[in-house]
Structure 1
């Protein structure tokens, strides 16, 4: 991980000396007086992923978050001898390390909401509705991948696990508002489609061998939601976003929302409860699994000897 720091001039020596004493940091560069807003010296360094949370915690305790600035980016490759030696000095595996400040910052960004979030969730729900009408498993998968809701579920779990009430409230509000907008918009589109003769009640209530599971939740719905929630949170905290595609196509949130919208619009009361239950089970299962995963990760991480020695030193 690459850290770009803006450090008040009178604190630069302390910061650089501290970084120099840690074998898990390398490529340390100091640019005196280079920063203008905020004013100060610019310090660049590369640190192992395992050390990033340790060093960020120390910088925060030293006031760098308030008096200076901290930016964290991922280094895709560092094929140098000193980088390999630095990685060898860090115990553990990079994938097991959680950069908590980066995860929390990303969660706040996801919980902010945007027109893009509402648009993607609405489009995904509409695709799911078409999948229900045509009994298409392929379209169900497509709707799952398009849906952006999982990042907000992770933000909700993070807020609850770390006791950040504002993050939890914002995430829950965004989830509810997003699905409400998507379901209402899809129901209105279904009414228009029924008005022009494209669909009718039989399209929803007829036997659907490929998509009937959407409104018939069972014990496996909860099992998959829990497993997907664990996998999704691990992929977020470990920086392995490629695993998220598998999570997207494992849960039945967006398809359930599409089925619910159609059932409301066309008048299929016996399916409304089932699709709503499917949606609730998946959201609740992922959230609870996410909370448990985050708490286990947090409990498993202990401050390094470097951080403890800094605490005694200062």
Structure 2
């Protein structure tokens, strides 16, 4: 798997960056365009490098303060036909699919964790769908609510913040969760409160549904499923396999539990509301804990791989070993 780096730097830093790139294991091509950058004024350097070597190369570039004086952008080309690129990938330690680019993970989870109107809209809609599925005893509606819910983004961001000490990211994620869920539950409670006098469902509806009993009956498997889902979700973020996230969304009971709390409180079913609140808490804690464990494991693996790579000979700009 090949990545493409576009580096914009002032002219006085261009030579140092070029040497840094050409000497890195896993680099297939380096090209420099003097004076190609207008704002800021300087050179543009393009690098084809194995994904396995991106994290180490980015760390070296950051040590040169490239991000302060210019910029570093990373892209993943869909197709690269090059024997040099194939050889660079083979020389680089590890596997591209198992490689974590930490800045990429932080940026991706950060974008998904902001308290935006669209985030609130999706969470409110998902909780409304869950509430409808609860009062109609519809498993399909509940599964649909799970798929619509956007809560995994802030949960993943919270895990990244805990592992990397990015407290601003953690505050953003906590705000999205702390405001989003109460707002969605309040909207669902209001809808339920209006629906009862309209005769849309009877007051004893929670005593009739069998398909929703699992929501307010938390047990060991509630935590186990949450841990498995959190593990799968963070792995999908790291490996850029977004399709797997759908399975994560429809396997945890976060949104349905929030919807059940709202409906149960309106109907005076406080014991069931408490059970679903525990279910919600178990799912949130389990997902974050599993995601943290995955990130810690990958960080240890990355450090071990980079230490091994530092002992291997480097290429000079002429292609010789040193």
1:174 matched to 2:168? The reply is: no
RMSD: 2.0
Secondary structure of the corresponding residue to residue 301 of structure 1: helix
Aligned length: 311
Compute the displacement of 1:45 (Å).
1.6
Q: Which has the higher helix share?
A: 1
Please tell me whether the aligned partners of residues 144 and 248 of structure 1 are also in contact (alpha carbons under 8 angstroms).
yes
Q: Structure 2: any 5+ residue segments left out of the alignment?
A: 314-322
Instruction: Determine the structure 2 residue equivalent to 1:32.
Output: 34
Compute the displacement of 1:234 (Å).
1.2
Compute the displacement of 1:116 (Å).
0.6
Instruction: Determine the structure 1 residue equivalent to 2:264.
Output: 263
After TM superposition, the runs of 4+ consecutive aligned structure 1 residues lying more than 6 A away are: none
Instruction: Determine the structure 1 residue equivalent to 2:294.
Output: 293
Counterpart CA distance in 2 for 1:46 and 1:264 is 57
Write out per-residue CA displacement over residues 35-81 of structure 1, whole angstroms, 9 at most, x where no aligned residue: 22322211122221111111111111110111111111222222332
* Residue correspondence of structure 1 range 219-234 to structure 2 within 5 A: 219-234=220-235
Secondary structure of the corresponding residue to residue 195 of structure 1: coil
* Residue correspondence of structure 1 range 34-113 to structure 2 within 5 A: 34-113=36-115
Instruction: Determine the structure 1 residue equivalent to 2:192.
Output: 190
Give the TM-score taking structure 2 as reference length. 0.91
Give the TM-score taking structure 1 as reference length. 0.93
Q: Which stretch has the larger CA shift, 175-184 or 100-109?
A: 100-109
Compute the displacement of 1:267 (Å).
2.0
Please tell me whether the aligned partners of residues 53 and 99 of structure 1 are also in contact (alpha carbons under 8 angstroms).
yes
Q: Structure 1: any 5+ residue segments left out of the alignment?
A: none
Counterpart CA distance in 2 for 1:113 and 1:301 is 31
Secondary structure of the corresponding residue to residue 271 of structure 2: helix
Instruction: Determine the structure 1 residue equivalent to 2:318.
Output: none
Counterpart CA distance in 1 for 2:252 and 2:94 is 32
Secondary structure of the corresponding residue to residue 44 of structure 1: strand
Q: Which stretch has the larger CA shift, 191-200 or 249-258?
A: 191-200
Counterpart CA distance in 1 for 2:141 and 2:297 is 36
